[in-house]
Amino acid sequence: MRLPLRRCGEGVLLDIRLTPNAAQNQIDDIFLDGGERPRLKVKVTAIAEKGKANDAVVKFLSKSIKYARGNFGIVSGKLDRNKTLLIRGDPSEMENQLKAWLEQI
């Protein structure tokens, strides 16, 4: 299975599909989008209004991964369900940490 991770100079890029206004915050599975890019399905209870869902997904993922929220940033898809998050840190260490985290979900 391909993972929704890519290394970059500042850390690791994580591709997600966000579903706002869900019954509970949860991480579902990995799927291939229309462009054959693997994405992690993430649901948050926050509504998609004034950046609330974006803030909620960063908070939820930082808690889940156990990595400081300040190291997360949305680099594409701020107004779209398909998003790419930058998780700042040493690329190889972050990639290993995220692979281990993805195996647990």
pLDDT recorded at residue 65: 96
Q: 21-31 pLDDT, tens per residue?
A: 999 999 999 99
Q: 49-63 pLDDT, tens per residue?
A: 999 999 999 999 999
**Residue in the block written with tokens 């206004």:** 21
CATH fold of the domain at 5-104: Conserved Hypothetical Protein Mth637; Chain: A; (3.30.1200)
Residue type, 64: S
SS3 at position 103: helix
User: Domain map of the chain by residue range?
Assistant: 5-104
